[in-house]
């Protein structure tokens, strides 16, 4: 059986993690694309040589030519400038818009049947830029954010409760940033709502740390941003598509009235399968939760307007 083809545009830290995990798990043959001459080729060769240790047969190819993404089943866009200390995701808006637009134009030209997973920050706005640039159907354009934010929230909960992270199932909505909306009522530990295990003030602190999870890492690294967890999160979405797992994962998708929000990409629970976005799950939110989600969508819409989309 022919192995799937996944192209990763952007061979930086996140792109490298995505490419390596895809190959190591033998989910797909991988094409790693970057404009820096020699860099994707060098990383691809290094990854390929680990196959002699890890014993995987998937191929990794590095290239500077966008044409090499031809016939990709999935394209993951990670290209862009990483945050530096003191920068918000929105500070990256203008810088990364040009980079992402070129990547999206290349996918439209060379891989028009592909499903796109957008990772570049500011995530929600860049995903909408990809959607507008390609003209792809809304089920074929997703943004990776909710999986990452959920993973961070899960870790902080596990550390606080001193339990296995395997039993924690978090839920967050909204944009990837300061207006993120953690949902303690829908976050469970072995089926037990988090609200029954921790007091409200402690949950609030964990939620705030999840919102600032990326900034915390940026401040510690000083010269870059997170890449291990973001890369793994993108791979989880790719795997659900390639294996038609139909996992329910919080993802950045285009809403057309769901949750009372229309015409914007925002994070909500999504069933992800071979066709990309197969269902948007509408949770029953209370008035406070819904107000926070709409506030988050308004922040995204403002950025979208700034780009003239």
Catalytically active residues, by annotation: 176
What is the spatial distance between Cα 309 and Cα 288, in angstroms, rounded to a whole number? 29
d(CA 230, CA 277): 20
Helix (H) and strand (E) counts in the chain: 9, 14
Are 209 and 178 a contacting pair, CB within 8 Å?
no
Q: Report CA dihedral (113, 119, 125, 126) to the nearest 10 degrees.
A: -60
In terms of DSSP bridges, do strands 141-143 and 115-118 run parallel, antiparallel, or are they unpaired? parallel
The SS3 assignment for 278 reads strand
CA neighbor of 236 nearest in space, from 138, 125, 145? 145
Render 211-261 in DSSP notation, one character per residue: HTHHHHHHHHHSS----HHHHHHHHHHHHHHHTT--EEEEEEEEEESGGG-
The CA distances from residue 4 to 54, 72, 185, 282, in Å, are: 20, 8, 38, 31
Residue whose entry in the numeric block shows the structure tokens 């969508």? 297
- Contacts of 283 by beta carbon, 8 Å cutoff, 6+ apart: 171, 173, 183, 186, 269
Whole-angstrom CA distances from 131 to 116, 123, 158, 183, 271 are 9, 12, 36, 27, 19
Q: Which residues contact 213 (CB under 8 A, 6 or more apart)?
A: 148, 149, 152, 226
Look at residue 198 and give its three-state secondary structure: coil
């Amino acid at each position: 059986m022919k192995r799937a083809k996944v192209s990763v545009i952007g061979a930086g830290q996140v792109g490298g993690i995505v490419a390596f995990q895809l190959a190591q798990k033998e989910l797909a043959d991988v094409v790693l694309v970057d404009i820096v001459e020699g860099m994707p080729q060098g990383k691809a060769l290094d990854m390929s040589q680990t196959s002699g240790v890890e014993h995987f047969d998937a191929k990794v190819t590095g290239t500077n030519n966008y044409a090499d993404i031809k016939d990709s089943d999935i394209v993951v866009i990670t290209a862009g400038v990483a945050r530096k200390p003191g920068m918000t995701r929105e500070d990256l808006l203008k810088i990364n818009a040009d980079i992402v637009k070129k990547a999206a134009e290349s996918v439209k030209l060379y891989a028009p049947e592909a499903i796109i997973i957008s990772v570049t920050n500011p995530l929600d706005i860049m995903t909408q830029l990809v959607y507008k640039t390609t003209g792809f159907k809304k089920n074929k354009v997703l943004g990776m954010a909710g999986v990452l934010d959920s993973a961070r929230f899960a870790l902080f909960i596990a550390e606080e409760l001193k339990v296995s992270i395997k039993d924690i199932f978090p839920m967050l909505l909204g944009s990837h940033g300061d207006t993120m909306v953690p949902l303690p009522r829908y976050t469970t530990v072995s089926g037990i709502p988090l609200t029954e295990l921790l007091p409200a003030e402690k949950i609030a602190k964990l939620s705030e740390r999840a919102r600032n999870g990326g900034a915390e890492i940026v401040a510690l690294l000083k010269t870059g941003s997170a890449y291990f967890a973001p890369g793994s999160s993108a791979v989880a979405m790719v795997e659900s598509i390639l294996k038609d797992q139909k996992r329910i994962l919080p993802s950045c998708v285009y809403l057309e009235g769901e949750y009372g929000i229309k015409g914007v990409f925002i994070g909500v629970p999504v069933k992800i399968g071979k066709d990309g976005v197969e269902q948007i799950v509408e949770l029953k939110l209370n008035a406070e939760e819904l107000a926070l989600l709409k506030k988050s969508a308004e922040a995204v819409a403002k950025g979208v307007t700034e780009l003239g989309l």
